């Protein structure tokens, strides 16, 4: 890859299944200049949110956003419709990132079918896009992200996890966003570069400091277990939040772990969207993170915004991963192939 700290035209980023486009945020926060940013995201509400989010991030880091704040949606937004000719026509691509769907792989999907499920099965067309991107950009660096489904009890899940490593040719790096943000979010990353910095030394805020004044963190109902960062202790005030969705039917809400206590009513309730954003943006000030999300996205109601904001939990961790990029450490491909085999 062109050295990211010295490339005068910025790094051109292809972001597949990109959600809000937090990849760009992570790169800018890691002090890496960004040139073009091609985003592929099938959901129209999320794309509208991405436009607003990109504008806010561009305003925060104007000196690193070489090509301005606009997101390029010129590729088909359905990954299965993208062709090699379209990838070649983009020109230089420096970094490709892909966070393909986790439904069917996550522990929340107890009957998940793994890569045979049509949603996580989008890994295959995404891997095909990576093959084309590397063919026309030999210098390209890449990162794929998903839940840590290799630790599932299912033999088929373990097999699918190994298949992803085998196809991508790299060993996964698994870590919890709780080390650098206010929420747990354990994810595996398949990166083309070595990860050598210890995320646990980065520092983190306390959950209590990220909530609104009328909310307080309840006591933890159980101890955190690996691979989660061991922060919550049974009976003590919760220090780290679970990944939360707005639906009352999700596993994080049913046992109450995703709820906060309203100090005025003493009732347990879901946090506000702005609080979720503050938890995800924990490295920045509480007020600043909340104010960044106060302005509603036109055409998108509040609660549909809540699931999309969970991408913010990963942005700080991805910043850490990308600070490893300038080292350009050599990866032993033979060792990785044996690992995946």
Q: Nearest CA to 146 among 61, 71, 339, 167?
A: 167
Kind of pairing, strands 260-262 and 186-191? unpaired
Distance CA 207, CA 209 (A): 5
pLDDT score recorded for residue 288: 30
Q: What is the pLDDT along the chain (341 residues), one digit of tens a residue?
A: 333 443 556 889 999 998 888 888 788 877 778 888 999 999 888 888 788 777 777 777 776 665 555 789 999 999 999 999 999 999 999 999 999 988 878 666 556 677 888 888 899 999 999 999 999 999 999 999 988 887 777 788 888 899 999 999 999 988 888 887 788 888 899 999 877 677 777 778 788 888 888 999 888 888 998 888 899 999 999 888 876 555 555 555 555 677 888 999 999 887 776 666 666 554 333 223 333 333 444 443 333 333 333 344 445 445 555 555 543 333 333 333 333 33
Which one-letter DSSP state was computed for residue 311? H
93, β-bridge pairs: none
pLDDT score recorded for residue 19: 85
Kind of pairing, strands 268-269 and 260-262? antiparallel
Which tokens in the block code for residue 195?
A: 């990860």
pTM higher than 0.85, yes or no? Answer: no
Which tokens in the block code for residue 189?
A: 């990353």
pLDDT score recorded for residue 333: 34
Neighbours of 298 (CB within 10 A): 9
Which tokens in the block code for residue 175?
A: 């870590």
pLDDT score recorded for residue 221: 85
User: Residue length, the chain?
Assistant: 341
Distance CA 129, CA 97 (A): 11
pLDDT score recorded for residue 98: 94
pLDDT score recorded for residue 302: 37
pLDDT score recorded for residue 249: 53
Q: Where do runs of H (alpha helix) occur along 117-233?
A: 123-136, 155-168
Quick one: three-class SS letters along 328-339? CCCCCHHHHHHH
Q: Phi/psi of residue 163, each to 5°? A: -65, -40
Neighbours of 208 (CB within 10 A): 14
pLDDT score recorded for residue 114: 74
Which one-letter DSSP state was computed for residue 2? -
Using DSSP's 3-state secondary structure scheme, residue 82 falls into coil
11-200+314-340, CATH topology level: Rossmann fold (3.40.50)
Neighbours of 148 (CB within 10 A): 20
What is the b/e burial string over 156-174, where b = at least 16 CB atoms within 10 angstroms of the residue's CB? ebeebbebbbebbebbbbe
Kind of pairing, strands 215-216 and 172-176? unpaired
pLDDT score recorded for residue 128: 97
pLDDT score recorded for residue 304: 35
pLDDT score recorded for residue 13: 92
Kind of pairing, strands 186-191 and 172-176? antiparallel
Q: Nearest CA to 261 among 212, 304, 310?
A: 212
Which tokens in the block code for residue 319?
A: 């910043």
- Return the axis-axis angle of helices 273-280 and 302-309, rounded to nearest 10°: 20
DSSP string computed for 88-136: HHT----EEEE----TTTSTT-TT--GGGSTTGGGHHHHHHHHHHHHHH
15, β-bridge pairs: 39, 97
pLDDT score recorded for residue 108: 61
Residue-range domain boundaries for the chain: 11-200+314-340, 207-307
């Amino acid at each position: 890859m062109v050295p990211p700290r010295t490339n005068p035209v910025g790094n051109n980023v292809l972001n597949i299944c990109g959600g809000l486009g937090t990849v760009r945020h992570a790169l800018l926060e890691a002090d890496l200049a960004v040139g073009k940013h091609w985003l592929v995201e099938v959901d129209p509400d999320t794309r509208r949110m991405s436009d607003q989010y990109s504008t806010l991030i561009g305003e925060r880091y104007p000196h690193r956003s070489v090509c301005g704040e606009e997101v390029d949606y010129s590729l088909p937004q359905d990954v299965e419709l993208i062709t090699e000719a379209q990838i070649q026509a983009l020109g230089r691509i420096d970094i490709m990132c892909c966070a393909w769907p986790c439904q069917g792989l996550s522990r929340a999907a107890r009957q998940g079918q793994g890569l045979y499920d049509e949603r996580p099965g989008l890994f295959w067309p995404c891997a095909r896009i990576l093959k084309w991107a590397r063919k026309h950009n030999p210098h390209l660096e890449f990162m794929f992200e998903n839940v840590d489904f290799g630790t599932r009890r299912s033999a088929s899940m373990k097999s699918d996890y190994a298949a992803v490593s085998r196809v991508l040719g790299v060993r996964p790096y698994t870590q919890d966003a709780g080390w650098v943000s206010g929420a747990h979010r354990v994810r595996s990353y398949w990166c083309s570069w070595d990860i050598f910095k210890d995320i646990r030394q980065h520092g983190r805020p306390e959950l209590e400091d990220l909530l609104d004044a009328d909310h307080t963190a309840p006591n933890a109902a159980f101890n955190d277990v690996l691979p989660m960062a061991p922060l919550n202790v049974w009976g003590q005030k919760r220090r780290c939040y679970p990944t939360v969705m707005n639906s009352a039917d999700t596993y994080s809400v049913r046992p109450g772990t995703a709820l906060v206590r309203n100090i005025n009513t003493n009732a347990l309730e879901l946090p506000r969207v702005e609080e979720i954003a503050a938890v995800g943006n924990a490295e920045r000030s509480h007020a600043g993170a909340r104010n960044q999300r106060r302005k509603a996205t036109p055409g998108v109601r509040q609660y549909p915004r809540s699931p999309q904001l969970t991408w913010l939990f990963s942005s700080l961790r991805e910043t850490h991963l990308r600070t490893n990029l300038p080292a350009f450490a050599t990866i032993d491909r033979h060792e990785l192939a044996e690992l995946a085999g």
